[in-house]
Structure 1
Amino acid sequence: MNPVGNRPPRDTGPIELRDFGPNGRRLGTPADCYDGSPWELHRGELVEQMGSKDIHAITMALLAALFRTHAREGMTVMTDVYCDLTDEQGSSLRAPDVVVVSDLEEPKDDVYRGKPVLAVEVRGTQSKRYVEEKVRLYVEHDWPLVWIAHPVRQEVEVFSQAGSSVVYRLGASLPLPAILDKHGLEAIPVAAIFSETEASRYTDGWVATRAEARGEARAEIRTCARSILQVLAARGLPISDALRARILACTDAATLDRWLILAATANTPDAIG
C-alpha cells in the first residue's frame, strides 16, 4: 500500500505524510493521544474520535451522574479517558465514553492502565464499525462488562464475559452490577438512561427516598426498643444496665420483635438476648 522500500514505516510527523496501516488508516503512536486530541490509537493506527454532541453528550452525562450516585466507596467514574489496551498486535489507546474503575487510588493526568469494572460506549454520530471495533477490543482484553447505549433506538446492549450480548429495550429493566448498589438499586428502567426526567428519579430522587425510608426504619427500631423496656418495667421485671444497653443497641427489627414477645411473656428478663 505504501512504497516504503526498506525504510521503517513512518508513524510520526505530520499526519498527512505518514504511512498507512493494514486497515487503511494512518499510523500513529501513543504520543498522538493527549488531552484534547482528536485521535485514538487502535493497534498502531490512528482513529479519529467522534465529538460528544447533543443527545450523545446528554446520555454520557446521565450515565455518569447515575454511576457517581450509586457507585460503592472506592469506585471512580471517568468520562472520555484514554485506556491502554496495548497488546502483541500493537499499541492501542481507546477512550470509552464512561468507565467505572476500582483500582484508581487518586486521579492522575495519564492514561488508565487496568480493567474497568464497567465501560459504556454511547452510539451517537459514530459509525457502527467505530463502536463495534472498540467494544471488540474491550472484550478481547477481558473487560468484565461493556454497554453500548443507543439513544436513537432507546436501547442498551450489554456484553459480559458470560458470552453473547443481551439487548434491553424501552419497558425493560436493565440490571446493574453490584458495584452500583450503594443505595440498594439493583436495576434501572432503560428509559432512565436516556431521559433526564426519568434519570432524576434514580439519582437525587432515589437517594432522598432511600434516606427517608432509612430514617423511618430507624425510628421504628427505636420505638420497638423503648416498648420492650416499658413492658419489662410494667411487669416489674428487673432491667440491668447491660440488658438496657443491649436492647437499645440492637438494630435488627426481627430480633426486637421477638424480644418484645418475650418481654410480655417470659418469667425472667434473662430470656431476652
Structure 2
Amino acid sequence: MTPAERERLLVRILDALSDPRSAMAEGRPHHKAKVRAIDMLTLHFGSTGRVIYLAEELAVLYPGEEVFAPDILAVLDVPQPEDDPRMAWVVADEGRGLSMVLEVLHQGNRNKDLVANVERYARLGIPEYFVYDRLRQQVHGYRLPEPDAARYQRIVPQMGRHASSVLGLDLAVVGDRLQFFHGMAELFGSADLIGRLKGMMESLEARTEQAQAQAEQAQAQAEQAQAQAEQAMAGLREAILAALSMRQIPCQDEARARLLACQEPATLQRWLLRAMSAGSLDEIFAE
C-alpha cells in the first residue's frame, strides 16, 4: 500500500468512526456486557496460553468494503500485544480476516445486527458470528458450514449453549448475563474473581476469628480445670491435716512442707487414707 493509499484509508476510517450514527452509544448495559465479555475472554486465553487476538470496537476494513467496528472481534493465531498500536484491522495489511465477531444488542438497530450483519459477515468469510441480545436475554449464533461458503447456518444450541468452534467455548445466557463455558466450567471476569477472592478472604477471616475464639475458650476451660484441680488438692491437704489433728498426731514443719508441696492428687489421696489409720507420720508419708 502506497503512502497516498494509506492516507486515503486513514481518512476513510476516521470518517467512519466520527459518524454520529456509528458513535451513538447504547448505554451502560451495552457497555458493561461488552466489557465483561472481552474481560472473560482475555483472562481465559491469557491463562491457557492460546494465541488469539481480541479487540473491542476496533475499526475493520476489508478490501472494497465500508469500514465497520464490531463490539468484539477475534482473530486466531495472532498474538495479543500488551500495548496494541493498531488503530484499525486492515485485512490487506494483516493478511487475514476476522475469525469471529460478537455483537451486543441492547437498544440498537436490530435489523443491522440480526439481518444485515448476518449477510455481510458471511459474505466476508468470517467463520462465526454471535449476537448477544441483552434486551431479550438471547444468544444468536451463526457459522459458515464450509470455508468457501457465503451464507451462514444457524448454530443450534445444545442444552441452552451455543458452541463456538473458533473460541473453543460455549456461549449461554445465565440469569441476566452472557456467560462463557469451557467444558462444564464457567469463565470468570476480573470483577467475578475479585468478588470470589474477597469472599474467600472474608471466610478465612471468619474461620480465623472462630479458631481464635475456640482457642481462647479452650484456654479458659484449661485454666478453670487447673483451678478446680488446685482447689481439690487444697481440700485433700486440709483433710489430711484435720485427720492428723483429730488423731492427735503432730505434723512437724518438714512433713507440713512436704504436704503443701505435693501436686499429685493420687499421692494426696493415698496419704489421706493412711492418715485415717496410721499411727505416725512416717507411716503416712512412707514411699
TM-score (norm 1): 0.50
